[in-house]
Structure 1
Amino acid sequence: MDAETRVTLSEIEDTLSRKGWRTVFPAAMERIYQRDLGKVRERAVRRALWPTIVIYNLLLLTDIALLPDTAKVAAFLHFAIVTPGLFLLYFLYFRVEGFLQRQVAEAGIPVLISAQTLTVMALNHVPNAGYYQYFVPLILLFSNVNQRLDTRVANATTILILIMYVSVLVFQDMLPEQKLAGLSFIVVSSYLGLSANLRAQRDARYAFLFRLRENVRLRAAETDAQLDPMTGLGNRRYLASFAGKLPPADGEPRPVSAILMDIDFFKAYNDLYGHGRGDDCIRTVAGVIAETTKLFNGTAVRYGGEEFLILLADADSATAAACAESVRLAVEDLSLEHGSSDVSPFVTVSLGIANGPVTADSFQLLIASADSALYAAKAGGRNRVMGLEGEGSKNPELRQPALQRSRRVLH
Structure 2
Amino acid sequence: MNDIAAELNVDTTVYKALLESTKAIPWKIDWETLRFSYIGPQIESLLGWSQHSWASIDDWIERMHPEDRDRVVNFCVAQSKAGVDHEADYRALKADGSYVWIRDVVHVVRNDAGEVEALIGFMFDISERKKSEEKLLRLQRELEELSYQDGLTGVANRRLLDSSLEAEWASARRNGHPLSFIMLDIDCFKQYNDHYGHLAGDDCLRRIAHILGSSILRPRDLLARFGGEEFALVLPETDREAARGVAERCRAAISDAAIPHRASDISHLVTVSMGVATATPVSGTPASLIEQADRRLYRAKQAGRDRIVTE
For 1:241, the aligned partner's letter is S
Given candidates 37, 57, 78, the residue that maps to 1:47 is 78
1:151 is aligned to 93
Please tell me whether the aligned partners of residues 289 and 300 of structure 1 are also in contact (alpha carbons under 8 angstroms). yes
For 1:245, the aligned partner's letter is A
Q: 1:297-348: CA deviations, max 9, x gaps?
A: 3221111111111112233333322221111011111111122323322111
Q: Which has the larger radius of gyration?
A: 1
- Whole-angstrom CA distance in 1 between matches of 2:133 and 2:78: 25
For 1:238, the aligned partner's letter is L
Question: What TM-score results when the alignment is normalised by the length of structure 1?
Answer: 0.46
1:313 is aligned to 236
Which 5+ residue runs of structure 1 have no aligned equivalent?
1-21, 24-32, 53-144, 156-192, 388-400, 402-411
Given candidates 196, 211, 219, the residue that maps to 2:133 is 211
- Whole-angstrom CA distance in 2 between matches of 1:360 and 1:219: 34
Q: 1:47-82: CA deviations, max 9, x gaps?
A: 258559xxxxxxxxxxxxxxxxxxxxxxxxxxxxxx
Q: How does 1:3-402 map to 2 (within 5 A)?
A: 37=68, 40-41=71-72, 44=75, 47-48=78-79, 150-151=92-93, 200=124, 202-203=125-126, 205-246=127-168, 252=174, 255-293=178-216, 295-297=217-219, 298-358=221-281, 362-387=285-310, 401=311
- Whole-angstrom CA distance in 1 between matches of 2:299 and 2:264: 18
Q: 1:77-117: CA deviations, max 9, x gaps?
A: xxxxxxxxxxxxxxxxxxxxxxxxxxxxxxxxxxxxxxxxx
- Whole-angstrom CA distance in 2 between matches of 1:43 and 1:316: 51
1:92 is aligned to none
Tell me: CA distance 1:248–1:148, structure 2 relative to 1, closer, same or farther (3 Å).
closer
For 1:221, the aligned partner's letter is L
Please tell me whether the aligned partners of residues 213 and 223 of structure 2 are also in contact (alpha carbons under 8 angstroms). yes
Tell me: CA distance 1:326–1:147, structure 2 relative to 1, closer, same or farther (3 Å).
closer
- Whole-angstrom CA distance in 2 between matches of 1:223 and 1:34: 32
- Whole-angstrom CA distance in 1 between matches of 2:261 and 2:153: 20
Which 5+ residue runs of structure 2 have no aligned equivalent?
1-45, 48-64, 98-119
> Partner of 2:139: helix, strand, or coil?
helix
- Whole-angstrom CA distance in 2 between matches of 1:359 and 1:34: 49
> Partner of 1:337: helix, strand, or coil?
coil
Structure scoring higher RCO (CA < 8 A, sep ≥ 6) equals: 2
Coordinate RMSD, CA, aligned:
3.8
Q: 1:250-305: CA deviations, max 9, x gaps?
A: x7266432111011111222233232322222221122112222x23322111111
Please tell me whether the aligned partners of residues 180 and 235 of structure 2 are also in contact (alpha carbons under 8 angstroms). yes
Please tell me whether the aligned partners of residues 248 and 359 of structure 1 are also in contact (alpha carbons under 8 angstroms). no
- Whole-angstrom CA distance in 2 between matches of 1:42 and 1:217: 31
- Whole-angstrom CA distance in 1 between matches of 2:294 and 2:305: 14
- Whole-angstrom CA distance in 1 between matches of 2:283 and 2:128: 41
Please tell me whether the aligned partners of residues 255 and 270 of structure 2 are also in contact (alpha carbons under 8 angstroms). yes
> Partner of 2:136: helix, strand, or coil?
helix
> Partner of 2:278: helix, strand, or coil?
strand
1:110 is aligned to none
Tell me: CA distance 1:236–1:146, structure 2 relative to 1, closer, same or farther (3 Å).
closer
- Whole-angstrom CA distance in 1 between matches of 2:189 and 2:72: 60
- Whole-angstrom CA distance in 1 between matches of 2:189 and 2:70: 55
- Over the matched positions of the two proteins, sequence identity in percent amounts to 30
Tell me: CA distance 1:40–1:364, structure 2 relative to 1, closer, same or farther (3 Å).
farther
- Whole-angstrom CA distance in 2 between matches of 1:39 and 1:238: 38
For 1:151, the aligned partner's letter is L
- Whole-angstrom CA distance in 1 between matches of 2:282 and 2:196: 42
Question: What TM-score results when the alignment is normalised by the length of structure 2?
Answer: 0.59
Structure number having the greater helix percentage: 1
Please tell me whether the aligned partners of residues 277 and 293 of structure 2 are also in contact (alpha carbons under 8 angstroms). yes
Structure number having the greater strand percentage: 2
Please tell me whether the aligned partners of residues 358 and 366 of structure 1 are also in contact (alpha carbons under 8 angstroms). no
- Whole-angstrom CA distance in 1 between matches of 2:77 and 2:207: 57
2:108 is aligned to none
Please tell me whether the aligned partners of residues 165 and 234 of structure 2 are also in contact (alpha carbons under 8 angstroms). no
- Whole-angstrom CA distance in 1 between matches of 2:227 and 2:237: 25
> Partner of 2:280: helix, strand, or coil?
strand
- Whole-angstrom CA distance in 1 between matches of 2:249 and 2:267: 18
- Whole-angstrom CA distance in 1 between matches of 2:183 and 2:146: 23
- Whole-angstrom CA distance in 2 between matches of 1:289 and 1:345: 20
Q: CA deviation at 1:384?
A: 1.9
